[in-house]
Amino acid sequence: MRLKRLILMAVGAALIAVGFAVPSQASLTTFCNGVASDVTVPGDLVVRAGASCELTNVTINGNATVRADANLLLDDSTVQGNLRVNADGFASLVDSHVAGNTRLVGAYGVYSEGSVHELNVVATDSEFFYTLGADLQRNVTSTNAETFLEESWVSRNVTSEGSYLTDLHDSVVEGNVSVTGAELGSVVCLSEIDGDASFTGNTGLVQIGANGPVQDCGFNVFGGDLTLTGNQADSFVSNNVIRGDLVCSDNSPAPVVSDNRIRGAENCDTSAAAALSSRSSRALATAAADRKDEVLDAIEAKVADGEKAAAEAGPAFE
């Protein structure tokens, strides 16, 4: 399911002209509540707790901070510094650019479509980080936060620990991928991982490749080793190209492994794979798919609520 490009509400007089004038000070902080377009914010931008800020074609020359229970909606906009989303805050970026780090701290979530994140993305104790067609030019590190990467490019590593669910679909990771302790597991489809990939201690479905309960998945290419260790639910590794080794150990049940092209060694214990229940596998796949749909619905609802609240607040910088 591809989330449609956000259609921003026309608000007439709420739009601010290019000539937005404020004193130029290095320590200047601009507070945003409402709607603005075609302006430059000379310093930092803050969305106060509970406020909503919708910006189109706006350049923020400093950092952007989304405080508790606030919304920041960026379209065709640039943050020259860091983007930080605090407790229960939400940020949506469409065709936008963050030159610094992106950090989620107890956040509701961040949705990034067609956007560039030049430095690291770090999500901690947050609901989700979801990308569609994003360019992530450093590391993506997620701790206790769901991670969804679709049609996206990560120039370094993806590390997920304690996530509810971690999915990669039609994406490229130039470095390593590590998924540990995901309650609903991890599904990797139609993706390229140039380094090593490891899936450890997950308690939900792990599906790597085409043949499994998640349909229309498609094969992956791994430039290094692929390792499954200590997973406690059904797992499938099929129809992949693995240029390194395939290693599976201490998984319960053992994974189903089939039709892979492995250039290195295969050291994968599959002795108990035949005992897998197709019913339990389908249930795990359904749970993961349902959760992903829930997150997409939540994103759409948050964007709609943020647009409405920003429009009702009026011009952002009066």
Cβ(209)–Cβ(191) under 8 Å?
Answer: no
Name the domain boundary from 138, 173, 208.
138
147 in a domain, yes or no?
Answer: no
Q: Return d(Cα 190, Cα 210) in angstroms, integer.
A: 8
Tokens at 210, concatenated: 């085409």
Clarify whether residues 264 and 238 are in a common domain. yes
pLDDT above 60 (res 273): no
Residues 249 and 204 in one domain: yes
Quick one: 173 and 218 in the same domain? yes
242 and 163 in a common domain? yes
Alpha helix (H) residue ranges in the chain:
278-313
Residue with tokens 């990797």: 188
What is the rounded distance in angstroms from the CA atom of residue 24 to the CA atom of residue 196? 48
Peptide bond into 253 cis (omega under 30): yes
Inside any domain, residue 82: yes
Residue whose pair of structure tokens reads 């901690």 in the numeric block: 124
Whether residue 251 is contained in a domain is answered as yes
What pLDDT shows up at residue 70? 98
| The amino acid at 267 | N
Q: Are residues 279 and 186 in the same domain?
A: yes
- Indicate the pTM of the whole model: 0.90
Rounded CA gap, 245 and 222, in Å?
10
Of 138, 170, 190, which one is at a domain's C-terminal end? 138
Burial of residue 229 (CB within 10 Å: 0-12, 13-18, 19+) is middle
* pLDDT higher at 74 or 288: 74
- Which amino acid makes up residue 302? K
Residue 14 pLDDT greater than 60, yes or no: no
Q: Output the CA torsion 72→75→80→82 (10° steps).
A: 30
Indicate whether 240 and 179 sit together in one domain: yes
83, 110, 138 — which closes off a domain?
138
User: Is there a domain that residue 311 lies in?
Assistant: no
Residue 287 lies inside a defined structural domain of this protein: yes
Phi-psi domain of 50 (left: phi exceeds 0; alpha: psi -120 through 50; beta: other) = left
From the CB of residue 13, how many other CB atoms can be counted at a distance below 10 Å?
Answer: 8
Residues 55 and 85 in one domain: yes
- For residue range 111-170, list pLDDT tens digits in order: 999 999 999 999 999 999 999 999 999 999 999 999 999 999 999 999 999 999 999 999
Q: Is 90 exceeded by the pLDDT of residue 191? A: yes
d(CA 199, CA 269): 15
Decide if 315 is inside a domain: no
Q: How far apart are CA 115 and CA 146, in angstroms?
A: 19
Q: How far apart are CA 15 and CA 12, in angstroms?
A: 6
Nearest-angstrom CA–CA distance, 21 and 33: 17
Residue 174 and residue 128 share a domain: no
Note the pLDDT tens digit of each residue in 293-315: 999 999 999 999 999 999 999 99
Residue 89 sits in the same domain as residue 53:
yes
Residue-number span of the structural domain to which 54 is assigned: 30-138
Question: Do residues 116 and 190 share a domain?
Answer: no
First to last CA, the chain: 39
pLDDT confidence tier of residue 19, bands split at 50, 70 and 90: very low
Q: Are residues 50 and 177 located together in one domain of the fold?
A: no
Q: Which of 184, 292, 193, 194 is nearest to 235 (CA)?
A: 184
Cβ atoms of 141 and 123 within 8 Å: the answer is: yes
- 197 within some domain: yes
For residues 234 and 253, is the Cβ–Cβ distance under 8 A? yes
Q: What is the total count of domains within the chain?
A: 2
- Give the model confidence (pLDDT) of 53-81 as tens digits: 999 999 999 999 999 999 999 999 999 99
Q: Is residue 283 part of a domain?
A: yes
Instruction: Tell me, yes or no, whether 164 and 282 share the same domain.
Output: yes
